[in-house]
Every structure is written in C-alpha cells, then in structure tokens.
Amino acid sequence: MFYFDPTYLLWVALPAMLLSLLVQGRLKSTFAKWSRVPNSERYTGMQVAQMIFNRTSLNTIPLEPTAGALTDHYDPRANVVRLSEPVCTQPSVASMAIAAHELGHVQQYQTGSPMIAARSFLLPALQFTPTISYMAFMLGFALSLVGLMWIGVFFFGVVVVFSLLTVPIEIDASRRGLKLLEDAGLLDTPEERQGARQMLGAAGWTYIAAAATSLMQLLYYVSLVKRSGRSRY
C-alpha cells in the first residue's frame, strides 16, 4: 500500500517532521525568552486585552482563561477570546503579543475581513472533505480506479486551500495586533516592539509549516495518481 512508499517518507513524512520540529522549537524558545521579559506596564495578557478594548475602537467581547500553554485562540462561534494560563497570569512581552494577536482576529471579524469571509465559506466543507478525500483515494488506489483517486485529490485540495488561506489570515492578525498595541499606547520601548515582532513571527511560522506540509502531501497524491495512470497502459 502507498502508506509505505519510500517516496512518501522521503518527500513528505520526513520533511514535514523536520519542519515541524524546527518551527515548534523556535516557537517554544522564543516564547520562553520573552516570557521572562516583563512589559513596561506590568500588564498580564488578560489586562492587555482589556486595555486594548478600552483604548481602541474594538468592540468589547468576553475574555476567558483556558488550560495549557500556547492554547490561545479566538472562538468566533462563541465570540470569546480564550487565553492560556501563562498568558493570563504573566506580565510579559510574550503575553502582551499573544493577547494582541488574538484581538487581531477579533478585529478581522468585526471589520468583515474578506479573507475571513473566504475561509468561513470553506469551513463547513472541512467537516467532511478530509474523510471523503482519504476514502476516495484509498479505495481508488486499492481498486486501481484512477478517476476515483482524482476525486480524492480534489477533496484534499479543499483542505490545502484552507490551510494556505490561513497563512495570510494569521499574518494579518499579527499585523493588526501590533497596530492595536500601538494605538493603545502599550508599546513603550524598542525592546517591547522587538519582542512582540519576534513572538508573532515565530507563531506565524507554525501556520506556514502546516500549509507547506499539506501542499507537499497534495503533490505526492497527484504524483501517485499519475504513476497509477501510467501503470495501466
């Protein structure tokens, strides 16, 4: 079966694993570094978020703590920002940057970002496209039905488009977050600006790595279908 194809290991599995390790290592080391550096206002991430709501045009929404580290996210369905325990409690540059990034997502939704609208349009399809993709591809491969394999590739392509679209959305949220910090008067020193940029840049690479991995997997599937098609003649 194609699961044990050496080509997959060489061109997808190993590069994806190495890329993930590098990106996660960079993110954790950057977070550890800037978690030890207090921001000049001594605000925790929760307080930073509240200050941004108070000092900018952003509409206030609920803020909630959530368990774990680097588990921060904005939930558009519940319209709530959830901040991880370290971000909630530590008055660090890292906490400030992460909280601002999540509020950057809030601003995207509140201002009707076209990129958010495009991803929201694809979101319902993500509930079933991965399952259809893998089932169609595996069944097509097992039965040597190239057409069915192409159907699997098509549905996996939807997943890839979603992953690729996430990258500019996350970069835009970081850009908005930095602007919100500036507008709220919370970036007082060059060190804070540097730390916030480094923290958000490291986080952004996780989405780039995920998109690159999904794209590599899609290209592998395409090459496998083409090889299967040629083997029939």
Burial pattern 165-194, b for ≥16 Cβ within 10 A else e, equals bbbebbbbbbebbbebbeebebbeeeebbe
Residue entry with tokens 């925790």: 44
Residues with active-site annotation = 102
For residue 143, CA distances in Å to 3, 213, 232, 233 come to 16, 27, 12, 16
- Helix, strand, coil shares of the chain, percent, nearest 5, are 75, 5, 20
Angle of helix 146-183 relative to helix 190-231, nearest 10 degrees, comes to 170
Tell me how far apart the alpha carbons of residues 94 and 200 are, in angstroms, rounded to a whole number. Answer: 9
CB 207 within 8 A of CB 115: no
DSSP state of 123: G
